[in-house]
Amino acid sequence: MSYQTSFADLDYTHKKRLTRREVFLNEMEQTVPWLKLIALIEPAYPTTGRRGRQPMPLASMLRIHCMQNWFSFSDRQMEDALYEIDSVRRFAGFGSVTDALPDETTILNFRHLLEKQQLTQKLLEAINAHLKEQGLLVSQGTMVDATIIHAPSSTKNKDKSRDPEMHQTRKGQQWYFGMKIHVGADVNSGAVHTVTTTAANVADISELPKLLREDDQVIFADAGYSSDEYRRGARHLGMRWCVNDKRKPGKNLSSSQKKRNRKQSSIRARVEHVFRVIKQQFGFQKTRYRGLEKNASQVNLLVGLANLYMLRRQLMAA
């Protein structure tokens, strides 16, 4: 078996072409600070598995959990992928389908461990600390924004009801049901330094104070964050208030206001890049779990992984 495996490894490394998934995993292999993240989880990771068996290697379980978020796999889909997709299995640290691969229950239990110990917030902080060490995420300006994540509105479930922690809100002429992700992102790098999760009906501006850093000197935001009270407070603190002006009922914006809005929007728009990565690249367009706490746990890691993905070129060059 070892002889066949060695030839399989040789054949794999000399492939004429890498798939997009393989290219992506190769980049993430070099970008994610694996040792730092493993060190955070290790104190809480069990030393014995079910029925006294040896637990799955922590490094493998962390990689599997990251792939779940990157490829939007359910626990069962993740288990199937380990058996079906060679690049996924190798990234997790398993050489063959004959290895003892984790089943969907083991994958589920690892996610529950991260949720119970509230470790994903610490993982996000560790990722951002790593970015700072590399000279990223160090400016004194913040861009703030929010996005809606849909939640299933069906009542065809065990409780015969919609998720009580999700709410509906109207944006434009359309109604949405779900939650909101609020982020504060670094002006220079575009990476998110702070994230909060609320029901969809919570106003964007109510989360603004939580999304700023103590040393921030400038704030960029769209017109949804326009507030005379916050503007005065920012100026009192010596901060530049670069929030777009909102058109008041019956009164159009002046030409100077429009010009200022366009200039500020050219900078502020970069905060939306993280939402594109989370929604389009990672496929997180609808909640998979019930309750804000479970979804907030996933969002923390998604944001950290999105930061690494957006800055992967700089990190790989370093």
Q: Considering only 140-154, 155-169, 208-222, which range has the smallest mean pLDDT?
A: 155-169
* Residue-level pLDDT at 52: 62
Q: How far is residue 159's CA from residue 166's CA, in Å, rounded to a whole number?
A: 15
Least confident of 65-69, 302-306, 314-318: 314-318
Burial profile 12-51: b = 16 or more Cβ within 10 angstroms, e = fewer:
eeeeeeeeeebebbebbeebbbeeebbeebeeebeeeeee
pLDDT of residue 120 exceeding 90? yes
- pLDDT band per the 50, 70, 90 thresholds, residue 11: low
| Residue 148, CA distances (Å) to 143, 200, 263, 314 in order | 17, 6, 25, 29
Distance between alpha carbon 212 and the CA centroid of its chain, in Å?
18
* pLDDT recorded at residue 3: 37
pLDDT at 164: 92
pTM comes to 0.91
Q: Which of 266, 268, 261 is nearest to 244 (CA)?
A: 261
Counting beta carbons within 10 angstroms of the beta carbon of residue 163, is it exposed (0 to 12), middle (13 to 18) or buried (19 or more)?
A: buried
> pLDDT over 90 for what percent of the chain?
81
| Domains annotated on the chain, with CATH | 2-117 (no CATH), 139-290 (3.30.420)
Are the C-beta atoms of residues 245 and 261 closer than 8 Å to each other? yes
> Quick check: 305 pLDDT over 50?
yes
Q: How high is the pLDDT of residue 248?
A: 84
Q: Is the pLDDT of residue 121 over 70?
A: yes
pLDDT tens digit sequence for 36-54: 999 999 999 998 766 667 7
Mean pLDDT across 75-79: 97
Q: Check pLDDT > 70 for residue 9.
A: no
| Residue bearing tokens 């889909």 | 77
Quick one: pLDDT at residue 1? 32
